[in-house]
Amino acid sequence: MKASVVLAAITASAASAHTIFTQLTADGKTYGVSYGIRTPTYDGPQTNVNSNNMACNGAPNPTRPSDKIIPVTAGTNVSAVWRHTLESGPNDVMDAGHKGPVMAYLKKVSDAKTDSGVGNGWFKIQEGGYSNGKWATNVVIDNKGNQVIPIPSCIANGQYLLRAEMVALHGARSSQGAQLYMECAQIEVTGGTGTATPKTYSIPGIYKANDPGLLIDIYSQKANFQYVIPGPPLFTCP
Ligand SMILES: *[C@@H]1O[C@H](CO)[C@@H](O)[C@H](O)[C@H]1NC(C)=O
Ligand SMILES: [Cu+2]
């Protein structure tokens, strides 16, 4: 094959290999595709960490609003369900060559249906990077698209945006080469003790284009290298 043909084939497979957080499983119930989640129809990434669209996605992957809010009990695990497209099944989550970290954030809001998510108020509640030779994205793929997210027991009750995120680093050796995928679910937390006040951060703002976890040639690393997960520290209940 000519190099140009190989490159075209690689580009085509990469373009067809993106992902969307399409469904939420909470308190044992898996809701329908796009129920309570602002999903786009196109599965493309965000690549500019300074964009307002880093919060809850947006152009060039415009999202549709949802008028639903999903009840979630504090102290339980929810699953963000990832799929290649809105129509894909559990064996088509994302191309396994999309390797990188997986994270989840919460933001307390007064109206989860309308809050844009842009700006302060976010705290990280789950993260996975690279361990035992495996990337967190591959853990999610092997788990049939389920990103397991513990909802802290100590947070206050009320409405939140739940932002689930996967990052693909196959092109991250150049600036803005990292592909960030995120959607926001609209949830109402009950059963929280409200005893903690998490330190919060702004989105955009949590990432820099040259973060060691976002500007990295993953193919030139040692098998057991120490990967630095981007973003603020993980919040845990005291
Ligand atoms: C949540 O999931 C983690 C990881 O799978 C597990 O270790 C933990 O026991 C679960 N917690 C609950 C409350 O089910
Ligand atoms: Cu992709």
**Are the CB atoms for 56 and 117 separated by under 8 Å?**
yes
Residue 21's pLDDT band (boundaries 50, 70, 90)?
very high
Alpha carbon nearest to ligand 1 atom 9, residue: 77
Q: Which tokens belong to 45?
A: 């990434």
Residue 176 lies in a domain: yes
Neighbours of 49 (CB within 10 A): 20
Helices (H) and strands (E) in the chain, counts: 3, 12
**Are the CB atoms for 140 and 93 separated by under 8 Å?**
yes
**Are the CB atoms for 82 and 19 separated by under 8 Å?**
yes
Residue 11 lies in a domain: no
* Ligand index nearest the alpha carbon of residue 143: 1
Tally of domains within the chain: 1
Residue 187 lies in a domain: yes
Q: What's the mean pLDDT in 123-134?
A: 98
* Ligand index nearest the alpha carbon of residue 15: 2
**Are the CB atoms for 184 and 117 separated by under 8 Å?**
yes
Residue 10 lies in a domain: no
Average pLDDT value for the chain? 94
Residue 11's pLDDT band (boundaries 50, 70, 90)?
very low
- Statement: residue 236 has pLDDT above 70: yes
Find tokens 């949590």 and name the residue.
206
Q: What's the mean pLDDT in 106-135?
A: 98
- Provide the b/e sequence for 159-188 (b: ≥16 CB within 10 Å): bbbbbbbbbbbbbbeeeebbbbbbbbbbbe
Cα(165)–Cα(103) distance, rounded to whole angstroms? 5
Structural domain of residue 137, as residue ranges? 18-220
Q: What is the CATH number of the domain that holds 88?
A: 2.70.50.70
* Cα of 186 from ligand 2 centre, angstroms: 25
217-230 pLDDT per residue, tens:
999 999 999 999 99
Residue 111 lies in a domain: yes
DSSP bridge partners of 41 = none
32-90 pLDDT per residue, tens:
999 999 999 999 999 999 999 999 999 999 999 999 999 999 999 999 999 999 999 99
* Cα of 71 from ligand 1 centre, angstroms: 19
**Are the CB atoms for 31 and 70 separated by under 8 Å?**
yes
Residue 226 lies in a domain: no
Ligand 1: atom nearest CA of 150 is 1
Cα(58)–Cα(44) distance, rounded to whole angstroms? 10
- Statement: residue 7 has pLDDT above 70: no
User: Residue 17: its pLDDT value, please?
Assistant: 79
Alpha carbon nearest to ligand 1 atom 10, residue: 77
Ranking 4-8, 27-31, 104-108 by mean pLDDT, the lowest is 4-8
* Ligand index nearest the alpha carbon of residue 126: 1
Residue 237 lies in a domain: no
Ligand 1: atom nearest CA of 77 is 1
User: Residue 16: its pLDDT value, please?
Assistant: 55
Residue 24 lies in a domain: yes
Choose one of 25, 27, 72, 77 to mutate for the ligand 1 pocket test, by most ligand atoms within 8 angstroms of C-beta.
77
pTM, full prediction: 0.94
